[in-house]
Structure 1
């Protein structure tokens, strides 16, 4: 999630978004960058049986495993119906979604999880710390952005996966890669997708943007633990096999399009985060 003034859900937005205001799981949540984040985008094939079914600013990935579908992230609450429409537009049945993987428990990536899980019957999967926040629909107390106090529809049932564990479905094997920092429970996801004999390692990276709520300091004792988490995430991104990078916020991939296709994409993503973190720490030390 990027910083911005968070507004209350407004019934007036319901008509504009096409949602009915009486569904608490898709009730529109207005944020400063909503138009950018939910900019319409056609579903597109990334490589092999991997697709994007999200938006211009928020990525949502789809993997066809041959034995069911895996979705990654869910954008804002009001985005859920459009995500399912994009899945159907590719010729898939939304009810074939078996798992929904969560990168982080922030409203811009997890807001639509509850509605998507309800409407498809899919199981939501997250890290242990991510699952704790998803079940409450609130930011964790040690989240650098807890000051925003933004709430999103809680997800009742969340299956926990550990760093390095593999989720297997059909011909897909998705590996959980802990990339904490932006939130303590942030998780990235890595898998291999093939077209005939040609295969690519694909990574859906959680946000690595070192932003925080008003008054939060990364140079404080609590902040230093978060800095250590960011360095753990950078190390993970530097070693994960990565030919194609999809980032939770599309613009953070470093590409002009919706994903970056480069053997250096994940390492470049880590370097950009390292520079941003260093700049943030330097600014705090000179304030």
Structure 2
């Protein structure tokens, strides 16, 4: 079973010399890519990712939708999990992106190439995916680094609905962690029981060393977080999946009442503490 595989075995599916799946030297790669078997979330929505990075597959009845792509070296394992569920990766029509960071977007270029799917992102997200690099206003910009560029990206706006088969997926702009971050929601039904599933982009207010959220240039970032909190608090949300599972609570997803509100509250608390600490340091 895939859950018993080592990281080395997980990566063995990548073709030698493949520039799109070349492993990135990331300190937390072993933790983020801890192998897990595919899992049903509800009805025809599945988890096909890893212990520290969420990747979702939706069966719409007329094609598949994938959300996020983890690190570049993860692409073969994602497709292997799709096959374990009995699906053909060539049936993936869309790959939705939550944010232009290597840990969630690094595998998109390989996944798009190997499936023929269309990558979908926000306008700012598309800029980052095409560049394969962090934006100039990204709080983590000073970390540097790059990942495989995505040649073609379909841009969607906040509130736009992507329809395929029986499924309608809504894009929700959730800026802050990056200004191009996008969350996605859809409804899954079993008989008369329907649940709204939310795949939330990261809202973690982290940064590279030296970045100041209290700096005047960072005001749009802080305002972006505030807008995202309002959006998450108002969003129908029966099941929450977060880009990094541990940010939403124990387990691979959170089906507790108020999960999206708790997710926003966690980020708001962390950002408030960060702003207070920066202000305190500036008065010393």
TM-score tier, shorter chain, comes to over 0.9
1:168 maps to which of 163, 168, 178: 163
Cα distance in 1, alignment partners of residues 10 and 80 from structure 2:
17
Q: Where does residue 205 of structure 1 map in the other structure?
A: 200
SS in 1 for 2:125: helix
Structure 2 unmatched runs, 5+: 1-6
Q: What residue number does 1:7 align with? A: none
1:265 to 255, 259, 266: 259
Q: Following superposition of structure 1 onto structure 2, how do residues 247-286 of structure 1 map, counting pairs within 5 Å?
A: 247-254=242-249, 256-286=250-280
- The aligned residue for residue 172 of structure 2 is 177
Question: C-alpha separation between the residues in 2 aligned to 1:279 and 1:32?
Answer: 26
- Contact 2:11–2:77 at 8 Å: present in 1 too? no
Matches within 5 A, 1:104-115: 104-115=99-110
Alignment of 1:40-189 (within 5 A): 40-189=35-184
In the TM superposition, residue 263 of structure 1 has moved relative to its aligned partner by 2.5
3-state secondary structure, aligned to 1:209: coil
Q: What residue in structure 2 maps to residue 4 of structure 1?
A: none
Q: What is residue 228 of structure 1 aligned with on the other side?
A: 223
**2:4 — aligned with what?**
none
**TM-score normalised according to structure 1 size:** 0.94
CA contact (8 A) 2:11 2:76 kept: no
> How far did residue 262 of structure 1 move?
1.9
- The CA RMSD measured in Å over matched residues stands at 1.2
Asked if the contact 1:14/1:21 (under 8 Å) is kept, the reply is no
Is contact 1:14-1:20 (8 Å) kept? no
The answer to whether the 8 A contact 2:10-2:35 is kept is: no
Determine helix, strand or coil for the equivalent of 2:183.
strand
Residue of structure 2 equivalent to 1:10: none
1:6 counterpart residue number: none
The runs of at least 4 aligned residues of structure 1 exceeding 4 Å deviation read 13-16
Is 1:25 the counterpart of 2:52? The answer is: no
Is the contact made by 1:21 and 1:28 (CA closer than 8 Å) also made in structure 2? no
Measure how far apart 1:286 and its partner are.
1.4
Q: How many residues align?
A: 274
1:157-181: CA deviation from partner (whole Å, max 9, x where unpaired): 0000000000000000000000000
Instruction: Provide Cα deviations, 1:214-234, integer angstroms capped at 9, x if missing partner.
Output: 111000011122100000111
CA distance in 1, matches of 2:276, 2:155: 36
